[in-house]
Amino acid sequence: MTEHDIAGKVINSCLARGIREFVVCSGARNLALINALTLHEEVVLWSHFEERAAGFFALGRMMDSREPCAVITTSGTAVAELLPATIESFYQSRPLVIISADRPVEFRGSGAPQAIEQVGILGSYVEGCDDVQESADDLFLSWSGRKPWHLNVCLGEDLTDEKFKQVAIAAWKPERLKLDVSPFVRFFDDVWQGVVVMVGGLEPEDRGDVLHFLQKIKAPVVADATSGLRELLGSLCIVNPDKVLLESKPGKILRIGDVPVGRYWRDLENLKDVEVLSMTRTGFSGLARESQVIHGDIGRILRGAAASEFDEVGDVLDILNGNGRRASQLSELLEAYPDSEPAMVRLLSIYAYTGESLYLGNSLPIREWGEFAQRDNPIEVVRANRGANGIDGQLATWAGWTHGIDDAWILIGDLTTLYDLSAPTLLHDCDAEGRVIVVMNNGGGRIFDRLPRVQNMAPEKSAIITNEHAFSFESWAMMWGWDYLRVEDADELEIEGGPVPLVVELVPSEKQTNAFWEAYRKLS
């Protein structure tokens, strides 16, 4: 079988499984695959020069479409660059397909140029790997369509332009999960100990079912920004939950959606007498300790358990009783330190709700948004990469998720931006206006400053941990032809998107930020 035939069969197998979007990173070895792909007029084809960002862009496309997306690489270290995005896709349960061109099998172990051991290179983060050598039959046989998959295709250099028999793009149908909702029903048999619901990231189609359920049971809620429900739940949401829940320990925690962002979720590792039930589309418990998990699509679980018929649970422990006082104390602190990082996040959130969507980068931005952003106006379309909680690939993911969409916002940190400086290339063909890229530049990884073991270090050591720097992002914005605004004083913050993306560099006061956190820790 020629390279042309193999490439054609590989692409046809992808189309038959419902894969319609492909991100191509061109090279000499994958020309046959690219040629076969371009012969099909109905596919959506993206192109990028760098594999790591391409993988995260594909992840963003899957967030938007909720269908698979494939990345095609050449041979050698190119495929290794896809490991970070594959890991993130694995923990998010996204069907990323990696199609790596490889040299013929006889080159393996030879040390010849562009010949590395590509089969198995993505390890346990793919459901399987088809090693396509002389035949391209029977691909994807054990793929559930809910996790990444790897096709490694051995190709020579025999490239022709002849036509091959094409197949139609099939409808996307991932494996349907079997549901057992009985643990969910039993969870509410004994609620006198107090129930708190922690809501992580949700798929857009699940938000309505979750909102209706939470409004029905009226239990206290910790809602991440990525749930899209944070503002809609109003008085049911706990103010300063990490501290409050340690002081008023509930007997039961129901987690809905992705692993929660807040510190209290990690505290549950040691609070083993607290019963935890997770309802999640990814199937991961998010804890090392014993807990129960219901794996499936959230809306389907709630409908299967007839959640609309559940009785009101209420606030057994009176956790919500102090919400007004805590909210007032927090507002006073934010007003007292207007140029602190948390206060700038609050002010930014007042502008951001006018956008169509919001992406939050790891790790400080997403946590500070959850704690300090305004709660009066809903921001329902919020995304983040919380699979492995890494900071790489954030801009590329945002570019894929919001391609062609007006008024898209992103808030990321300075180190996160430095990780992904090439990602704006993915926006160059994006016909969209009003896009706002907010970089919180606090001179390094300041989330580490809040760790007691770092606070006790000598300054020269802590500077290494936090990766201190004095970079500005003005030249980066100019490089891409974007508008730029630097804000060091909260009074200077006035954002209005335009025809080209706007980079807003927020530079909070270190003195005010430290003073804020010191006062915040003392709140009752």
pLDDT value at residue 523: 87
Amino acid identity of residue 42, one-letter, is E
pLDDT of 159 above 60:
no
Positions of CATH 3.40.50.1220 in the chain? 182-321
Query: What's the mean pLDDT in 134-154?
Result: 95
DSSP result, 47-74: E-S-HHHHHHHHHHHHHHHSS-EEEEE-
Query: What's the mean pLDDT in 45-69?
Result: 97
- Each residue's pLDDT tens digit, 257-314: 999 999 999 999 999 999 999 999 999 999 999 999 999 999 999 999 988 888 999 9
pLDDT of 103 above 80:
yes
pLDDT of 127 above 60:
yes
Residue bearing the bigger pLDDT, 457 or 408: 408
R_g over Cα of the chain: 24
Distance, CA of 357 to CA of 335 (rounded, Å): 27
Could you tell me what percent of the chain has a pLDDT over 70? 96
**Both ends of the chain: CA-CA distance in Å?**
73
Tokens of 97: 């397909």
Query: What's the mean pLDDT in 378-402?
Result: 95
DSSP state of 333: H
Which CATH code is given to the segment(s) 337-521? 3.40.50.970
pLDDT of 485 above 70:
yes
Positions of CATH 3.40.50.970 in the chain? 3-154, 337-521
**∠ CA 30-32-35 to the nearest 5 degrees?**
110
Q: What confidence category does residue 61 fall into, taking pLDDT thresholds of 50, 70 and 90?
A: very high
Query: What's the mean pLDDT in 19-45?
Result: 93
Distance, CA of 390 to CA of 363 (rounded, Å): 8
pLDDT of 54 above 80:
yes
- Each residue's pLDDT tens digit, 311-366: 999 999 999 999 999 999 999 999 999 999 999 999 999 999 999 999 999 989 99
pLDDT value at residue 466: 75
Task: Answer whether 434's CB lies under 8 Å from 496's CB.
Answer: no
DSSP result, 380-420: --EE---SS---TTHHHHHHHHTTT-SSEEEEEEHHHHHHT
Strand pairing category for 252-256 and 292-295? unpaired
Fold exhibited by the domain 182-321: Rossmann fold (3.40.50)
Q: What confidence category does residue 223 fall into, taking pLDDT thresholds of 50, 70 and 90?
A: very high
Class of domain 3-154 (CATH, top level) = alpha beta
Mean predicted lDDT score pLDDT of the chain: 93
Distance, CA of 303 to CA of 517 (rounded, Å): 42
Minimum mean pLDDT among 267-271, 416-420, 451-455: which range? 451-455
Non-local (6+) Cβ contacts of 362 within 8 A are: 384, 385, 386, 389, 390, 391, 394, 416
Query: What's the mean pLDDT in 205-229?
Result: 97
Distance, CA of 81 to CA of 71 (rounded, Å): 11
Non-local (6+) Cβ contacts of 150 within 8 A are: 97, 98, 100, 122, 126, 128, 129, 130
pLDDT value at residue 524: 75
Q: What confidence category does residue 449 fall into, taking pLDDT thresholds of 50, 70 and 90?
A: low
Give the CA distances from residue 468 to residues 5, 39, 362, 420, 445, in Å, rounded to whole numbers and listed in that order: 53, 50, 17, 18, 7
* Secondary structure of residue 468 in the 3-state scheme: coil
List the 252-256 sheet strands across, edge first: 221-223, 195-199, 252-256, 275-280, 292-295
- Each residue's pLDDT tens digit, 428-441: 878 899 999 999 99
Residue bearing the bigger pLDDT, 130 or 465: 130
Give the CA distances from residue 137 to residues 7, 140, 153, 414, 450, in Å, rounded to whole numbers and listed in that order: 11, 10, 12, 47, 54
Give the CA distances from residue 295 to residues 201, 305, 308, 333, 519, in Å, rounded to whole numbers and listed in that order: 15, 13, 20, 41, 41
- DSSP H helical ranges for 99-224: 182-187, 207-217
pLDDT value at residue 461: 65
Task: Answer whether 384's CB lies under 8 Å from 360's CB.
Answer: yes
How many CB atoms sit inside 10 A of residue 416's CB?
24
**∠ CA 127-46-400 to the nearest 5 degrees?**
70
Give the CA distances from residue 350 to residues 62, 369, 372, 523, in Å, rounded to whole numbers and listed in that order: 29, 11, 11, 24
